[in-house]
Amino acid sequence: MKELVQIIAKALVDHPEDVRVSESEEGNTIVYTLTVHPEDKGKVIGKHGRIAKALRTVVTSAAVKLDKRVVIDIDS
């Protein structure tokens, strides 16, 4: 799923070489921290957070198979 987050984020930004995804697991929760170029932060979040919400929905749907909860944090 880390690759899924990375592929989607790289498709959205102007600086795909600056996209980084780190993963940490805390109990039943997997936390993905998405780091992008500061100029691209708005593109990943979208108007009123719509793109970020859609990204979280896609990853959450994929996580159903793993029986885990997934959280995506966006940093710049």
Domains, in order of start, for the chain: 2-75 (3.30.300.20)
Per-residue pLDDT, 71: 93
pTM of the shown model: 0.86
Per-residue pLDDT tens over the stretch 15-35 = 999 999 999 998 889 999 999
Tokens of 16: 């795909």
CA distance 19 to 76: 9
Helix or strand (DSSP H, E) at 33: strand 29-35
pLDDT exceeds cutoff 70 at 76: no
- DSSP 3-state assignment of 28? coil
DSSP state of 44: H
Q: How confident is the model at residue 66 (pLDDT cuts 50, 70, 90)?
A: confident
Start-end of H helices in 1-76: 2-12, 41-45, 50-63
